[in-house]
Structure 1
Amino acid sequence: MHDVIVIGGGTSGMMAAVTAAENGSQVLILDKNRKLGKKLKLTGGTRCNVTNNRPAKEVIKHIPGNGKFLYSAFSAFDNYDIIDFFTSRGVELKEEDHGRMFPTTDKSQTILDVFLREIQRLNIEVRKQTPVQSLWLDDGHYQGVILEDGEKIASKTLIIASGGKAYPRTGTTGDGYRFAKQLGHTITDLFPTEAPVTSDEPFIKDKTLQGITLPDISLSVIDQNGKTVIRHDMDMIFTHFGVSGPAVLRCSMFVNTTLKKEGGKYVRMCLDIVPDRSANELTQDLLARQKDNKKALANVLKAWMPERYATFLCDQAAIDSQLPFNQLTPKQIDQIVQLMKKFTFKVTGTWPIEKGFVTGGGVHLKEIEPHSMQSKFHDNVFFCGEVLDINGYTGGYNITAAFVTGHTAGENAAWKSME
């Protein structure tokens, strides 16, 4: 009889196991992979962006998928506690742009090694390549788990930390949803987040803009009523299938949710390549540059954008890109400015969930106690990490949610096992 079984030896599962063991529990980790922390190794471009150094409220704002649910857990263990967790164990961290925190080694293995050492120090039992087939219930009450080979393992409490459905090659094939359903839980609609966006626009199919990167732009998702659903000011890139880059990845969740809400085949995105200037300011700037300027229009526009994109905008406005700049009419200048500030295009969705890095949707949070991650249906079962209906932006926010929910589940599962 184990005190705590943790299904899943990933980011949240290892944090849950270590926390439970630190609180005096005998812990068993069951993982289907050959090694623990498979997805952790890939985070932050294999450098492991362990958390974000912004104030806790700001961190929660950057978790658009039900981040407010985390307020209770954050009151006991937040992003600054995550930083202390690693620094107190000998890991030097550094802050990069936008508050992102990385190990100074720039290696995710540094972070994984912390957990592996703690697992050894705390005598946590680990069984790898050990898939769980189902939960062992007796008259509806949790008793333990049943492995694929039929072996039953009993425990006082259970933590389900088996991840979502994104990046299945790391072992996240949605097992946790099956276990949650066995316990009577609801699974909200699953969808990819932080995923590149697809489009069938002719300029995408023709690869007219493929490879063009636009820095410091503003990208918005627009609903069928013309209202802005979300806006992000970052970089983007045109690809052979649509658009990608930081601004696109952050908008991707809202592309999927807006498509589902409206039931259409596409939604619109709006691109502003000069978000720090108003349309009027741009117009006045262009007019001021016109006098005796015989340069080709596309050449003048290079001050704000790559020449290939300038040529594309000229084509969209039906204006010759080689027209001498001083020959442009005020109407043509207005057309160019409008395209610089409000170029709209249709998008059809995102890459499938299997190719996304983060899963949107999951175990319904109304069925989970926010202060403990405890199931409201089974008081000896806890959930943490991506199996929950929580998702954030890139930049250390998803991993923060995983660590915080993992710590909370581990601590409360340990306490429950001692009752």
Structure 2
Amino acid sequence: MSKVIVVGGGPSGMMAAITASKNNNEVILIERNEELGKKLRVTGGGRCNLTNYRDIEDFFDKIVTNKKFLYSSFYTFTNHSLLEYFKSNGLEYIIEDFNDHKVYTKSGKSEEVIDILKNDLKDNSVKVIYNKQVIDIIVENDAVSGVILNDGQNIKGDKVIISTGGKSYPHTGSDGSMYDILVKHNHTLKKIYPALTPLTIKEHWIKNLQGVSIQNVEISCKIRNKKIYQVGDILFAHFGLTGPCVLKLSSYINKYVEDNLIELNIDFLPNTSSDEISKIIRENPNKNIINNLRRLLPQNFLKEVLKILNLTDKKANELTKTDEEKIISYIKSMKLTCNGTKGIKTSQVTSGGISVKEINSSTMESKIIKNLYLTGELIDIDAETGGYNLQIAFSTGYLAGISV
């Protein structure tokens, strides 16, 4: 039996603590907040998108950074392993096949997931220490031997698992302070970027579309001659763009947009051809263009486009071919300039973190410090939205828990 200290009571830390305790270890879980799973509580809009129902081999196409590192953890504890775990503990869930196969709690309450994990911690005699922050780890002869708390207390242990998260949603406790501690002990920190975050747009008129949402939009751009695109729903905001499609795109352009302007090309009707749009514009010659097009796109969006083109009051029979082509161009290939992101505080996930080259992907043990294990968002791994990041947290936590 080993004495295992787990730092961080999020999904990865709780899963690591549960698994380690089931392997006949004495486990202490240290959480800086007054409750466990604070960030987990707000995921999926509070509904808890706990994983995705795709085949596990399909997950790797959804990993943005360092997908190969996750082979061992994903195949050791798959999405179906996770769902079986929760099902066996009484959780009812639903699979939204129409929504990228996302898995949510049937009740729509993330508290059910947290309660199951908390009960399992209790059933396996995990000691939970609340409202204490680890401010350093104790390293002796290149091996970890304990942690130091913010009240000056030293807790000794044989193994330490760090699951403190990244820098996104800092109000939940994941403020990135553990990065500095690990760097002090010779780990390498890959630069931090916001991922799954809204994008800011240079064009000022975009604020006039605040609140307008459009489904099944295709957004594309080129970075170093490579085309990047995403399809999904978008929402206009006073600062620019958000919504699932935009959030996913942000994870692929976040490193580049920090120092460069990026031209976005937006097709608001990717499944409708230019010829079809032309016919709809012309189908009622005596009607205003907006009346003809509003079954395809929101009226407020059309009003703004036509205002920009000085065509607001035009009827279809008054429209020149050139003006028609301009309208279609705005609908099928609107050009907007992305000049940044909304930053780490509004990002759902942190991109960057402790280098995967310094972690054994088969055990999650540090290659720098013996008996130290790192899991979840703390590491330089991130994925698209859709339950993939939570699966990373659970899978890496589970792998660390069985490896201590």
- Please report the TM-score for the alignment, with normalisation by the length of structure 1: 0.91
| Counterparts of 2:71 and 2:170, CA distance in 1 | 29
After superposition, give the CA deviation of every residue in 1:373-399 in whole Å (9 maximum; x if it has no partner): 111112311111110111122221110
Greater mean deviation of Cα atoms: 120-129 or 329-338? 329-338
Q: Distance in 1 between matches of 2:199 and 2:280?
A: 38
Q: Is the 8 A contact 2:231 2:245 kept in 1?
A: yes
Q: 1:101 to 1:339 in 2, by over 3 A?
A: same
Residue identity in the other structure for 2:137: L
Alignment deviations for residues 31-58 of structure 1 (CA, whole Å, 9 cap, x no partner): 1111111111111111211111111122
Q: Deviations over 1:320-342 (max 9, x none)?
A: 22222123232222222221111
1:132 and 2:134 equivalent? yes
Rounded Cα–Cα distance in structure 2 between residues aligned with 1:258 and 1:234: 22
- Between the aligned residues of both structures, percent identity stands at 34
Q: CA deviation at 1:138?
A: 2.2
Matched, 1:193 2:191: no
The count of aligned residue pairs is 402
Over 3 Å counting, the alpha-carbon distance change for 1:211 and 1:142 in structure 2 is same
Q: Residues 12-23 of structure 1: matches in 2 within 5 Å?
A: 12-23=12-23
1:54 aligned partner: 54
Shift of 1:149: 2.2
What is the RMSD of the two structures over their aligned residues, measured on CA atoms? 1.8
Whole-angstrom CA distance in 2 between matches of 1:287 and 1:195: 37
- Choose which of 340, 351, 366 in structure 2 pairs with 1:360: 351
Tell me which residue corresponds to 1:300. 292
Match of 1:417 in 2: none
- Structure 1 segment 347-386 matched on structure 2, within 5 A: 347-386=338-377
Equivalent in the alignment of 1:397: 388
In the alignment, which of 152, 168, 171 is matched to residue 169 of structure 1? 171
CA shift for structure 1 position 257: 1.6
> Match for residue 416 of structure 1?
none
Q: Is the 8 A contact 2:281 2:293 kept in 1?
A: no
Q: Distance in 1 between the 2:281 and 2:234 partners?
A: 28
Q: CA deviation at 1:290?
A: 2.7
Aligned partner letter, 1:374: E
The answer for unaligned runs of 5 or more in structure 2 is none
Q: Deviations over 1:175-230 (max 9, x none)?
A: 221232133111111111111111231213xx3211111111111233375x52x2
| Paired letter, 1:350 | T
Q: Which one is further off, 352-361 or 301-310? A: 301-310
Deviation of residue 140 (structure 1)? Answer: 3.7
Q: Give the deviation of 1:241 after TM superposition.
A: 1.2
Question: Could you say which residue in structure 2 is the equivalent of 1:321?
Answer: 312
**Contact preservation (8 Å) 1:222, 1:270:** no
Measure how far apart 1:361 and its partner are: 0.6
The equivalent residue for 2:103 is 101
Runs of 4+ residues deviating >6 angstroms: none
Structure 1 counterpart SS, 2:148: strand
1:375 is paired with a residue whose SS is coil
Residues 1:324 and 1:392: Cα distance change in structure 2 (over 3 Å): same
Q: Which shifted more, 135-144 or 210-219? A: 135-144
**How far does residue 284 in structure 1 lie from its aligned partner after superposition?**
5.2
**Change in 2 beyond 3 A, CA 1:3/1:273:** same
Q: CA deviation at 1:68?
A: 3.0
AA of the residue aligned to 1:39: K
Instruction: Report the TM-score when normalising by structure 2.
Output: 0.94
Aligned residue among 297, 301, 305 for 1:309: 301
Cα separation, partners in 2 of 1:33 and 1:288, compared to 1, 3 Å: closer
Gaps in structure 1 of 5+ consecutive residues: 414-419
Aligned to 1:154: 156
C-alpha separation between the residues in 2 aligned to 1:106 and 1:315?
A: 41
